[in-house]
C-alpha cells in the first residue's frame, strides 16, 4: 500500500558536515532535529519554544527511536560531504504523541514518496528511522525525574494519517517496558555469555541538552559506551568496534536523569536463531540508586565479513 501523504510529508536534501556524523551520536541527534522540524512545519506549533496551557515549556520528548540500515548504509555511514535525501512522514497518535518516519538515502535524482510497506520491510538501500515522541513537561522544577505528559495548546494532529495497526510502535515499546528487551525469545534467540553490569555517571560536561535534560542522543552514547565494555570482554579490538555495522537499533526511553546520576548499564549478547551472520546486544540502563529503568535498547550487529 502507498499511503496518501501529500500534505503530511516533507522531503529535504542535506549535506553532511562534521557536526552531523561520526563515531558518536551526532547523526542520531541530527535525525531528531529533522523530526522536530517536521512537527514544527506540519503541526502548527513552534516546536523549539512550545508551551502548555499553563504556560510552561513542553518538549517533544523521544520515547521510541528505531533505526534500521544495511551493510552498505547504516548509522555510521554518512561522512563529510555526503548529500542525503530525507523523506519524512508524520502520523497521528492523538494530542500527546506523534510518530515521524524518515527514509534516508544517498541523494539520487527524483524524490520518491514514502511507501509504508517498503518502509517497514526496511530492505531497501536506505536508513529507515522511526521516532515516536511524546510531549512532556517537568513535574518538578529543576529535576529531570518525573517528567509528565503535557501538550502545547496549538499542536495540530488530526490532519495526519493514521498508521496501520500492524505497524504501531506501541507494541515494541510495550515489550521493551515489560520484558526490558526488544529481543523476541519466541524466535529462538538465545543469550550468549553472562550479562555485564557497568556503571556510568551522567556527565555534567557532555550529556545534558540546552534545556538541562539528559539529551536523547546521549542515550545512544551511553549504550555504545556500555557495548564497548562488553565488546572488549569478548577479546575484540577498538578497531573492530569502530567497524561494527549496526543494522537495527531500537531504543525505548523510559526515564530521564540528572547530571551526576549513576546509571547501571546491563549488557548482554544474544545469538540470533538460525543466523550466523548477526548477533544481538541488549542494554538496559537503570538509575543505580533507585532501580528506576531509564532505557532499553537492542542492537543487531553484523558479524565479521559475512554477507
What pairs with residue 138 in β-bridges? 147
DSSP, residue by residue, 32-61 = HHHHHHHHHHHSSS-GGG-B-TTS-B-EEE
Quick check: 288 binds its own copies (CB under 8 A)?
A: no
- CA separation for the pair 123, 107 (Å, rounded): 18
**100: which residues sit within 8 A by CB, 6+ positions away?**
34, 35, 38, 39, 88, 89, 90, 91, 129, 130, 131, 132, 133
Q: How far is the CB of 301 from its own copies (least distance, A)?
A: 14
Quick check: 154 binds its own copies (CB under 8 A)?
A: no
Task: Pick from 114, 227, 265, 295 the residue near its own copies by CB under 8 A.
Answer: 227
- The b-or-e profile of 194-231 (16+ CB within 10 A means b, else e) is eebebebebeeeebbeeeebbbbbbbbbbbbebbbebb
Total residues at interface with its own copies (CB under 8 A): 49
Task: Pick from 86, 136, 208, 294 the residue near its own copies by CB under 8 A.
Answer: 208
Among 24-32, 66-74, 128-136, 277-285, the segment contacting its own copies (CB under 8 A): 24-32
Task: Pick from 228, 254, 293, 303 the residue near its own copies by CB under 8 A.
Answer: 228
Task: Pick from 26, 183, 251, 257 the residue near its own copies by CB under 8 A.
Answer: 26
Quick check: 262 binds its own copies (CB under 8 A)?
A: no
- CA separation for the pair 179, 195 (Å, rounded): 15
Quick check: 185 binds its own copies (CB under 8 A)?
A: no
Quick check: 299 binds its own copies (CB under 8 A)?
A: no
Residues that bind its own copies (CB under 8 A): 15-26, 29-30, 32-33, 36-37, 46, 48-49, 78-81, 203-212, 215, 217-218, 221, 224-225, 227-228, 238, 241-242, 258-260
Amino acid at each position: 500500500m502507498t499511503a496518501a501523504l501529500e500534505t503530511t510529508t516533507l522531503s529535504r536534501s542535506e549535506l553532511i558536515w562534521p557536526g552531523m556524523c561520526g563515531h558518536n551520536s551526532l547523526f542520531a541527534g541530527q535525525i531528531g532535529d529533522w523530526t522536530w522540524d517536521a512537527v514544527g512545519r506540519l503541526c502548527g506549533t513552534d516546536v523549539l519554544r512550545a508551551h502548555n496551557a499553563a504556560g510552561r515549556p513542553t518538549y517533544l520528548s523521544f520515547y521510541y527511536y528505531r533505526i534500521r540500515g544495511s551493510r552498505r548504509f547504516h548509522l555510521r555511514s554518512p561522512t563529510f560531504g555526503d548529500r542525503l535525501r530525507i523523506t519524512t512522514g508524520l502520523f497521528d497518535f492523538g494530542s500527546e504523541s506523534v510518530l515521524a518516519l524518515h527514509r534516508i538515502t544517498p541523494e539520487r535524482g527524483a524524490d520518491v514518496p514514502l511507501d509504508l510497506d517498503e518502509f517497514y520491510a526496511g530492505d531497501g538501500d536506505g536508513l529507515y528511522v522511526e521516532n515516536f515522541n511524546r510531549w512532556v513537561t517537568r513535574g518538578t522544577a529543576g529535576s529531570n525525574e518525573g517528567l509528565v505528559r503535557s501538550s502545547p495548546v496549538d499542536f495540530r494532529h488530526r490532519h495526519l494519517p493514521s498508521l496501520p495497526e500492524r505497524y504501531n510502535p506501541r507494541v515494541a515499546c510495550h515489550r521493551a517496558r515489560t520484558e526490558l528487551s526488544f529481543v523476541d525469545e519466541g524466535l529462538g534467540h538465545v543469550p550468549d555469555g553472562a550479562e555485564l553490569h557497568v556503571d556510568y555517571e551522567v556527565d555534567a560536561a557532555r550529556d545534558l541538552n540546552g534545556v538541562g535534560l539528559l539529551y536523547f542522543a546521549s542515550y545512544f552514547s551511553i549504550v555504545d559506551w556500555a557495548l564497548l565494555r562488553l565488546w572488549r570482554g569478548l577479546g575484540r579490538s577498538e578497531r573492530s568496534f569502530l567497524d561494527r555495522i549496526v543494522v537495527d537499533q531500537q531504543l525505548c526511553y523510559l526515564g530521564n536523569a540528572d547530571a551526576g546520576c549513576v546509571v547501571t548499564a546491563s549488557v548482554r549478547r544474544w545469538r540470533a536463531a538460525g543466523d550466523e551472520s548477526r548477533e544481538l546486544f541488549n542494554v538496559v540502563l537503570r538509575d543505580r540508586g533507585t532501580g528506576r529503568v531509564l532505557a532499553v535498547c537492542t542492537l543487531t550487529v553484523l558479524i565479521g565479513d559475512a554477507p
